Each structure stands twice: as structure tokens, then as C-alpha cells.
Structure 1
Amino acid sequence: MNDYLHRTIPNLKPFSYEHHHDSHFINQRWVLVNGISKKKSIYIFKEDNILEISRKDNVIETSWNIDIQNNFSIETEDGLITVEAYFKDDDILVLNNKDKEEFALYINTTDYEDELNSIEDINAFLKEKYRKKVSTIIYDHEFYYIEQSKEYGPFKVEELAEKVKSGEISAYCFVKDVNEYDYSKRMRIEDLIKEL
């Protein structure tokens, strides 16, 4: 069952009680992405193993539990299900059904001001989230660039942008992050500058 999940959503991090439970999981507003265009559901996993599910004007209280191997048991209208929890990111939760090839995807909207009511809203949320993440990564990292088979750097993106602006280097030079071994991602200075 896990192969199906990891093929569909790569690079998932397993739920870690120490890292995720208090800061990323409990008392957060999790909007269920599956079926959002038909009906919006908000899940709040509360202390004392209470699960609150809100749909329009209807609020259901049920229960959830976690065992020592981080397997969750959740009481739903369909009965008791056992799931494994993963995080794609700190605010994207995936609950993988252990008995079927299906999973539920949730987005944490606790700190998000706009409502998520449709696939379009989700796309806007993800686009904004990853745009901010990319900008932060770009500002915080340094990059090497290669020109005429010679490597230079590392430089911050602002420094590379200045070099391009002054005509010192071409915007089409390949760059790599300081943590990468080669230029196989084929990213150019102009790609970094676009994200500034």
C-alpha cells in the first residue's frame, strides 16, 4: 500500500510524535482536499483524542488515537479506520489508509487568511506557499556559477543579479546551490533572478 502512496506523492516525511504532534498537528484547522468541490470538511485533532469534523453548519465529534508506531485509528462515519500519517510539508498532511490504496490529503489553514473552498483556492494556496518558500531559499542560499568551463562562487542571488546587470556575466550561465555536486539541474542565473 505504501508504494502506491509514495509513487503518487513523493518525498513524504513520516509523522514524528516529537516533531509534529504538538506544533504541527494538534488544534490545527486541516481542510480535507479530497472531494472539496462537493463538500468542504475541516478536521481538528484535539487533545484527549477528540476529532472535530465540520461541514457547513454541521459539526461532528468523534475520536482518534495513536499507537507507539505512529499508526492512527480514526472513528469515522464509515467505521474505524487505521491510517499512517505523513507530512509533505509542515502544513500538508497525508493520512494513508492501511487497508486500501487510498489516502486523504489535508492542508493546514490555521494561519491562512483566505478560505479554501475549491480546487482553484487550493491551487492559489499552493502557488503562494511555494513561491514564498522558493524566495526564502533563494535569499538564504549561495550559488556557484560556471562560465567558459570555469566555476566561480559562491555568491548570493543579489550578487549574481548585480554581475548580470553590470554585464560582467551572462544571465544564461548555469548555477548550482552550494549543497549540490553538479549542474545537472540545468538552472541558469536568469531562473534565480525571476524568483526575486
Structure 2
Amino acid sequence: MNKYLHETIPNLKPFNYERHHDTYFINQQWVLVNGISKKKSIYTFKEDNILEISRKDDVIKTSWTLNILNNFTIETEDGLITVEAYFKDDDILVLNNQEKEEFAMYINSTNYDDELNSVEDIQTFLKEKYKKKVSSIIYDHEFYYIEQSKEFGPFKVEELAEKVKSGEISAYCFVKDVNEYDYSKRMRIEDLIQEL
């Protein structure tokens, strides 16, 4: 069953009590992605093993427990289910059902300013989230550039942007990541600058 989950959502990190429980899990407002187009549900795992499920004007209180193997049991409308918890990022939680080939995905909306009420809202959230992540990775990373068949670098993107601004090099020079062997990706300095 884990194979199905990991093929569907790669690069999951297992729930780690010390890292996740207090900071990223307890008292956070987890919006259920599955079925959001029909009905929005917010799950809040509270201390003392209370789980609050909010839907429009209705709040259901139920229970959850965590065992020594980091498996959760959750009391639902369908009975007691056992799930294994994973994080895609600190604000994306996946609960994998241990008895069926299905999982539930949640987004932590606690620190997110906009409402998550639809599939479009989820898409916007993910797009913004990964755009920021790419920008920060690009900002800190180094690249080589090639001009007139000579290679120069490595330089950070802001250094390359300064060279372009001063007219020292063209924004259309090809660049490659320090870990790449060649310029086959055909990425230009201009492409990097746009991501900043």
C-alpha cells in the first residue's frame, strides 16, 4: 500500500514526533484537499487526543491516538481507521490508510492569509508555495555561463543580474547549474533573473 502512495506523491517524509508533533501538527488548521469541491473540511488535531472537524457551521469532535510506531488511529464517521502520517513539506500532510489503497491530503492553512475553499484555491496555494521555494533555491545557488565559447563562473544569480545590468554580459548567455555537465537544458541568464 505504501508503494501506491509513494508513486502518487514522491519524496514524502515520515511523521517524526520530535520534529513535527508540537510545531507542525498540533493545533494547526488542516484543510482536507480530497473532496474540497463538494465540501470543505478543516481538521484540527488538539492535545488530549481530541480531533475537531469543522464543516461550514458544524463542528464534530472525535478522537485520535498516536502509537509508538508513529501510526495514528482516528475515530471517524465510518469507524476507527489506522493511518500512517507523512509530510510532503511542513505544510502538506498526507494520511495513508493502512487497510485500503487510499490516502487523504491536507494543507495547513493556519498561516495562510487567503481562504482555501476550492480546487482553484489549492492550485493557487501550491503554485505560490513552489514559486517561492524555487526563487529561494535559485537565489542561493551558483551557475556557470558561457559566452563566445568560453565558460565563466560560478556566480550567484544576483551577480549574473548585475553583470547583465552593467552591460558586461548578455542576458541571452546560456547558463548551467554547478552540478550539471553541459548546457543542454538551454537555460539563459534571462530565465534565472525572471525567477527572482
Tell me if TM exceeds 0.5. Answer: yes
1:136, CA displacement in angstroms? 1.8
Q: Count residues with an aligned counterpart.
A: 194
* Structure 2 match to 1:78: 78
Deviation at 1:102, TM superposition (A): 0.5
Partners in 2 of 1:80 and 1:135 — Cα distance? 42
What is the percent sequence identity of the aligned residues? 76
- Report the secondary structure of 1:20's partner residue: helix
Q: 1:107, 1:185 → 2: CA distance?
A: 36
5+ residue gaps, structure 2:
none
SS in 1 for 2:35: coil
**CA 39–138 in structure 1, closer or farther in 2 if over 3 Å, else same:** same
The one-letter code sitting in structure 2 at the alignment partner of 1:63 is S
3-state SS in 2 of match to 1:143: strand
CA drift at 1:170: 5.1
What is the letter of the counterpart of residue 181 of structure 2? D
Answer yes or no: is 1:21 the counterpart of 2:15.
Answer: no
Does residue 182 of structure 1 match 2:181?
A: yes
Distance 1:68 1:160 in 2: 51
For the aligned residue pairs, the C-alpha RMSD in angstroms reads 1.8
TM-score (norm 2): 0.91
- SS at structure 1 position matched to 2:160: helix
Check the 8 A contact 2:52/2:61 in 1, yes or no.
Answer: yes
Which residue of the partner structure matches residue 33 of structure 1?
33
Pair 1:167–1:85, CA change in 2 (3 A): same
Deviation of 1:157 (Å): 0.5
TM-score of the aligned structures, taking structure 1 as reference length: 0.91
CA distance in 1, matches of 2:47, 2:53: 14
Q: Which residue of 1 aligns with 2:174?
A: 173
- Superposition pairs of residues 113-124 of structure 1, within 5 angstroms: 113-124=113-124
Whether the aligned pair in 2 keeps the contact of 1:175 and 1:189 (CA below 8 Å) is no
**What's the CA shift for 1:182?**
3.4
Show the counterpart of 1:9. 9
Contact 2:91 2:107 in 1 (8 A): yes
Q: CA deviation at 1:130?
A: 1.3
Deviations 1:146-195 (A, max 9, x none): 4566543221111112233415255341320x4x3535882442321111
Match of 1:163 in 2: 163
| Cα separation, 2, equivalents of 1:52 and 1:100 | 24
**What is the CA distance between 1:144 and its match in structure 2?**
2.9
Distance 1:184 1:170, change over 3 A: closer
